Amino acid sequence: MLFKQLFDRNTSTYTYLLADPERAEAVIIDPVLEHVDRDLKLIAELNLELRYVLETHVHADHVTGSAQLCAQTGATSGASAAANVQSAKLQLTHGERLSFGRYVLEVRRTPGHTDGCLTFVTDADGQTLAFTGDALLIRGCGRTDFQQGDPATLYQSVHDQIYTLPSETLIYPGHDYNGHSSTTIAEEQRSNPRLNSGVTRAQFVEIMNNLNLPYPKRIDEALPANLMGGITRSKPQSDVSDVIDEVSAGLTEIGSEFKIVDVRTSEEFAGELASIPGAISVPWNELERHVESWSRDLPLLLVCEFGQRSSQGCSRLSTMGFTHIKTLNSGLVAWRAGREVNR
């Protein structure tokens, strides 16, 4: 197998290029937007055809290069079905297998850092490789305090889906901040301070619940973009009416002049992640049916978790004749962050 580990110094992010050199078919995992040209140049130099562009999860610390790579190579994008990346052509589920040349990537669902985390596992000529994203890092793991993160779930994912691999399995993480490039199952079971074999689930939950980490610096930019495959504009496409505008997610209070419509699912609306006070629940896939009888000049503010569904909802309402529609820029995740800062 041809294997390249690439690095973005600004975000300490690893990107991986895997290929069958005989059949010239390749896969890239976790590309970074700023390095699309680098990756395309490398693929061309190696005379490879890029078959898949895959994401281990929806990243909060950098913007993916997935959309650009797919547009320029014809590759197929893939992300977890649980991640709600609607631009991903492959909505991946646990146990799926993706072939490139003579090699196969097995998809393992490993939620906990985010609800949509995946680990990709392959056999490289007798050596097992696992690309764990942020679920398992070298002597660490991804945080669990946003994007539906849950420490108990992460503990179970690592123990059930990663630590059950052969002990000599090479682990390639999504990031490293200390100059390391890889590790093994045996090393992490022995030396990971959070996830060594002696740490119980209850102890791990206690550790993760008391990290008190700062909010990721690029989350307000990265999450909305990555839910669209790395397309960084948050407004709807150019054929959408100019009446669609944005309300700043930094506002701690939203004025009463809007009817606030939360287009998340009813389960999300009723869950622990709060919406704006006074918002009503109208799930995105039921939007047209609910608003059919509403006045077309009613001022509406559409909100969702990251901003993608609300932007698309504005586009759909515009085609129905609504003239005063706005979307919450960067979504509720940024709105909540603004409220925390101003408390």
DSSP string across 37-95? HHHHHHHHHTT-EEEEEE-SS--SSS-B-HHHHHHHH-PEEEEEGGGT-TT-SEEE-TT
3-state helix, strand, coil in the chain (%, to 5): 30, 25, 45
- Whether residue 103 contacts residue 124, with contact meaning beta carbons closer than 8 Å, is answered with yes
- Range scoring the smallest mean pLDDT among 200-204, 234-238, 301-305: 234-238
Could you tell me which of 6, 4, 22 has the C-alpha nearest to residue 14?
A: 6
Average pLDDT over residues 285-313: 86
Whether 184 shows a pLDDT value over 90: the answer reads yes
Whether 193 shows a pLDDT value over 80: the answer reads yes
CA dihedral 98, 101, 104, 110 (to 10 degrees): -50
Which tokens sit at 208?
């993760």
- Range scoring the smallest mean pLDDT among 57-66, 88-97, 320-329: 320-329
Tell me, what's the pLDDT at 235?
Answer: 39
Q: What is the DSSP string of 279-326?
A: -EE--GGGHHHHHTTS-TT--EEEE-SSSHHHHHHHHHHHHTT--SEE
Tell me, what's the pLDDT at 172?
Answer: 98
Q: The dihedral of CA 316, 322, 323, 327: what is its sign?
A: negative
SS3 of residue 196 by DSSP: coil
Tell me, what's the pLDDT at 242?
Answer: 42
Tell me, what's the pLDDT at 256?
Answer: 65
SS3 of residue 158 by DSSP: helix
Whole-prediction pTM: 0.72
Could you tell me which of 336, 341, 296 has the C-alpha nearest to residue 318?
A: 296
Which one is predicted more confidently, 10 or 251?
A: 10
Q: The dihedral of CA 144, 149, 152, 154: what is its sign?
A: negative
Which residue type occupies 187? E
Which tokens sit at 298?
């009613």
Which residue type occupies 160? D
Whether 84 shows a pLDDT value over 90: the answer reads no
Tell me, what's the pLDDT at 265?
Answer: 84
Give the DSSP letter of residue 33.
Answer: G
Average pLDDT over residues 13-24: 97
SS3 of residue 144 by DSSP: coil
Tell me, what's the pLDDT at 237?
Answer: 39
Phi first, then psi: what are they for 201, rounded to 5°?
-60, -45
Binning pLDDT at 50, 70 and 90, where does residue 81 land? very high
Tell me, what's the pLDDT at 239?
Answer: 39
Tell me, what's the pLDDT at 238?
Answer: 38
Tell me, what's the pLDDT at 243?
Answer: 41
Average pLDDT over residues 5-31: 97
Q: How far apart are CA 335 and CA 264, in angstroms?
A: 15
Q: How far apart are CA 87 and CA 101, in angstroms?
A: 25
- Whether residue 332 contacts residue 303, with contact meaning beta carbons closer than 8 Å, is answered with yes
Q: How far apart are CA 230 and CA 95, in angstroms?
A: 26
- Whether residue 228 contacts residue 84, with contact meaning beta carbons closer than 8 Å, is answered with no
Tell me, what's the pLDDT at 277?
Answer: 87
- Range scoring the smallest mean pLDDT among 47-56, 76-85, 129-138, 248-257: 248-257
Could you tell me which of 230, 216, 255, 218 has the C-alpha nearest to residue 308?
A: 230
Whether 134 shows a pLDDT value over 60: the answer reads yes
Mean confidence (pLDDT) of the chain: 89
Tell me, what's the pLDDT at 85?
Answer: 87
Whether 79 shows a pLDDT value over 70: the answer reads yes
- Range scoring the smallest mean pLDDT among 89-93, 245-249, 253-257: 253-257
